[in-house]
Structure 1
Amino acid sequence: MSVTSEEAAREALRQRQGAGARYDSPAAPARELAWARRGTAYFARKLNELTDAELYDPSLLPGWTRAHLVAHVGYNARALTRLVEWARTGVETPMYASTEQRNAEIERGATLPARALRNLFAHAEVHLNVEWRDLTDAGWDAQVRTAQGRLVPARETAWMRTREVWVHAVDLDNGGSFDDVPPDLLAELLADVQRSWARREERVGLTLAPTGGEPVVVGNGGPTVSGALPDLVRWLTGRGVRRLTSSDGEIPDIPRWF
């Protein structure tokens, strides 16, 4: 079997780091973990570009400051860590005690001093990475329950984190853009929106026509919405309409993502 340049680079890194370093298990979802880690670095960069005072200005999410957003992303890492711990130990540890507890946690987090908010984000993502790297091959397929009540294998946590960090980096509203998201990840986000609609049995009929790509028929089809893939994903994830056109002259209303 041929070895890719990425695999060769990983092996060279392991040789440099030595026997004491920790690595993901062979059964880990390598693609999704790479997306999550790259997205974490992207979110961190956009966060670090903000002054402490700017953290308390509005984000793109209605009713939330950037501090709310940073608290949410930090506490989300802790919640996903609990799911990975559940998969590793077999002891049930839910993401949140309740929706009310989750919301109260974010509201309290949004009042933290800027330094504490930055530390929350940094420390929580390191802890999550440690748990991911300690998870065995079997652990990645252990069943855990999401905050929405779905039973999923622990490998799903990598995708859940991917969505959080990339999309909320844009929500910080300081220059983050869907244009910065890797094209293969954009395609997966588009598919994720469709999966979410299907689980909720939403009745959606339209055709998506990404520039330079193959059309995507949703439901039984309908008006064709055309534009660059980043702009289509922005719209599908509820972040507004930019540079899109519709075959019937009006961009249709669509259900929420999740």
Structure 2
Amino acid sequence: MDIHMTAEIAALLFITGLSAGFVDAIAGGGGLIALPVLLSIGLPPQIALGTNKLQGTFGTLASSYQFFRKGQVDFREAMPGILYTFVGAAAGTTLVQNISPSFLGYMVPVLLVGVFVYTLFSKSLGYERRPPKMASRVFYTVFGLALGFYDGFFGPGAGSFWMAAFCVFLGFDLTRSAGFTRAMNFTSNLVSLAVFILGGNVLYSVGLLMAAGQFIGGRLGANLAMKKGAGFIRLVFLTVVAATVARLVYVTYLA
């Protein structure tokens, strides 16, 4: 399929990609901005999901690289998580093209409320590194498979879950957590994109236009996150999680 690409729609898509990439680089949640816009221009859900993965891959690539350059991501350390996320995302994306993910909509808002409340009342969480509560190999196996599958299958809040998990279970500060989260998100986006392409569910004209904005926004957001530090990331993180919960509750229970 294709859409009638007017100047207004092109500008909307570029600005949406820029905004989504910027927010996603800091605290996750870029899909919360991009996916509703893709649906609003008339894309069917499967193609909207696939096109969202195309544009999101560019944003996570740009932000991951910026965090890596500043020493906030050690890819050798993250490799077990990347591998398990790869497997989980491939399984989740394959499944979502055959069945509806709507049943997850009832469970995810509850889990995100838990993340929000825990972060809100754990005021020192993420401001400094802490001793890990879980062996890294076990952590990456469990969360790589689970969150990789979730991101491929459904998606909203995946970055928020990753950031909270890194802080709580591996004792990362928020800046390091943001960097490692982008690496995991890039992996799941790339794998999901490949599966969606094989299924013929990507609209390239839209996705690549948004990707240009995503790439710029991802670089800007990552640089700002590292410059401003944990307090700024925490504020954006809580805002994104609250907005994600509000949207999912509306879509699932009220619309």
More strand by share: 1
Task: Flag whether TM exceeds 0.5 (same fold).
Answer: no
Instruction: Tell me which of the two structures has the higher relative contact order, counting C-alpha pairs closer than 8 angstroms and 6 or more residues apart.
Output: 2
More helix by share: 2
